[in-house]
Structure 1
């Protein structure tokens, strides 16, 4: 029996309030409205941003909407499309995108940025373009995390926040391109524009940092130094391209001074992939004067960054990046192609494969530093939604 045009009942991990564990609930997912697509989510990664939103203590916690379905690093299959949708059909394999690309605004038309802002204010508050969510539970609206919500077996997204990918792509792998791997990889290649034979330092060797290491290697850096207080991550970093790794806890002097001594004055490029203002300052300070570039990749809304103005005046550059600088709709399919053609690694990032009812375990593994990426299976990636051919 076709589900097209019908409310779908399915399972989701619902965050009922800040600071409390997720609860697996029966939810209802309404049909897509104009310029919306309903997607059967097959796989989703668990990102630190999901954990931070639920458990973090940053500014503006009281403004975060609950109840909420988190998740923004997923892949699935189109179940149905709403009026006006022309680029997607039932059965298409897709990756939902927390960063839209409308293709029409000033930002989309500029090669200088990937930061489309269409529907931005709405999705940041957990709703779609019309100001409502398509997910409900126990008779009340459940908000959609940055307009996506991949911790749900079905979700509805705007058609500008979705990209079609090749049909032979394994969804349980390429879901990671919805956020973490794309962000770190692009931070090196797109935002930092790492040059051949340069010296790089990557602060934080979680999924984003490891992807930045991989990006530095792809760019031809001759020396890539991984920095992390968890030495268990060093082997994985080496496998992805790090030439050496250092633990700040092993030194009495600040890590930026250690790096300056190791490199004869500082690194050419530093990538902060933690989301901590103190680490951001250390990364900036670790760059060489005259041309050093520091790229801030880690997300936080807790602190202000304090840097030495004289160091900035002497030629250093500090940049921010969002989703690695990729224009989401057009670039993610290319990254999928790179993976399928063995030019980009994804399997190495996956340390745990879990089911939806193990979602809180995935959060615990992430917080304790015991996982790089846990991938949650929500359905068989080869199974098509009812009503598709």
Structure 2
């Protein structure tokens, strides 16, 4: 059981967390000490968290250990630090891996969600004092993506949490704190898909299928899914994919096949795999003049992108998408409302519900391509 006293905001909490001690090694359940929230921070009791492909990529390759992974999560505010006025104990929240300060150049621009104050945190420490809030037997344990939700309690900057309606089921909407929202936003905010347009999506995982859903809701006439795992095809139809291509089934390059079936190339292409080599293929799959390629995946290796200059001289555009362009505090509450009003699908992405102690099973399922989202339910 987790423990804390009545003066929660002044005390360390001891609770369970799944700690990664080494790259690629199974997570270990440990008793961790979670420090109280410092100024402008909140401590959150995690209710549900989901495993995202980005967690696995970092777990396999990053050098900062020991670490508590997890960033796609929902929870309830347990205590607040000095200066926090937006949240009170008991508020329902989504955690987010990029924040929104609402005052920096990017937040004020209306053109970007790349907050200059609360952008991507890669060092494993808190934004405010570059220290960690976790420890095991006095040894520091580092954060991941400003969230670290594979713990019964976590501390986040108040700018990296979004208050949501208490009516929204936390065990479902946790998916909107990353993957599903990222795909929908790439389709709506970054690409701004138009009615009747043609779309190709490389990779039919959660993000790719969320892009498909966004394209379908915008009225795209053709949504081509490119995927090497045929087991994903049937499920993808429910999200709007109209045609499927397995590159292994063709002798010619898949971009040529796409150009043939789309009448010269699609209006939009989305790279959702995390393979920089596929970015050039995606570029070549969209049409001359106005073809737009959006890349969403986080690569495991070879981060540099190579493309022939003629792809751009002919009028194609390449854009990156981080969290689908959503400003988390400004935009996520309305996305939750869309879910509550049954305007978007979220439940359908949940293929497994697992207990906290079974989190390593979620890692195995995702690495083997046997799940979309595994929702991990924390102890009550």
Which band: TM-score by shorter chain? over 0.9
- The residue aligned with 1:336 is 336
Choose from 125, 128, 145 the match for 1:127.
125
Displacement of 1:228: 0.4
2:142 aligned counterpart, secondary structure: strand
Q: Which stretch of the first structure deviates more once superposed, 12-21 or 39-48? A: 12-21
Q: How does 1:1-389 map to 2 (within 5 A)?
A: 2=6, 3-56=8-61, 61=62, 64-120=63-119, 123-128=121-126, 129-300=128-299, 302-303=301-302, 304-380=304-380
CA distance in 2, matches of 1:83, 1:379: 28
Contact 1:41 1:379 in 2 (8 A): no
Q: Where does structure 1 differ by over 2 angstroms across 4 or more consecutive aligned residues?
A: 1-5
Q: Distance in 2 between matches of 1:269 and 1:119?
A: 30
Matched with 1:387 is none
Closer, same or farther in 2 for the Cα pair 1:119/1:243, shift >3 Å?
closer
Q: CA deviation at 1:240?
A: 0.7
Q: Is the 8 A contact 1:43 1:379 kept in 2?
A: no
Alignment partner of 2:33: what SS? strand
Shift of 1:119: 4.5
Name the SS of the counterpart of 1:69 in structure 2.
coil
Alpha-carbon deviation of 1:302? 2.3
- The equivalent residue for 1:383 is none
Q: Secondary structure at the match of 1:147?
A: coil
Give the match's secondary structure for 1:235: helix
CA drift of 1:117 comes to: 2.2
Distance 1:23 1:243 in 2: 42
Aligned length: 373
The question of whether the paired residues in 1 share the 8 Å contact of 2:49 and 2:71 is answered with yes
TM-score when normalising by structure 2: 0.96
Provide the TM-score with structure 1 as the length reference.
0.94
Secondary structure class of the residue paired with 2:99: coil
Listed one character per residue, the Cα deviations across residues 362-386 of structure 1 (whole Å, up to 9, x for unaligned) are 0110010000000000134xxxxxx
**1:194: how far off?**
0.6
Q: What are the Cα deviations for residues 194-217 of structure 1, in whole angstroms up to 9, with x where unaligned?
A: 111000001100000010001111
> Mean Cα displacement is larger for which, 298-307 or 156-165?
298-307
Structure 2: distance between partners of 1:325 and 1:119: 15
- CA deviation after TM superposition for structure 1 residue 301, in Å: 5.8
Any idea what the Cα deviations from partners look like across 1:323-343, whole Å, max 9, x if unmatched?
000001111111111100001
Q: Secondary structure at the match of 1:217?
A: helix
The 8 Å contact of residues 189 and 325 in structure 2, kept in 1 or not, is answered as yes
Q: Alpha-carbon deviation of 1:120?
A: 4.0
**Deviations along 1:57-99, whole A, 9 cap, x unmatched?**
xxxx4xx321100000000000000000000000000011111
Question: Which runs of no fewer than 5 residues in structure 1 stay unpaired?
Answer: 381-389
Structure 1: how far apart are the matches of 2:279 and 2:375?
28
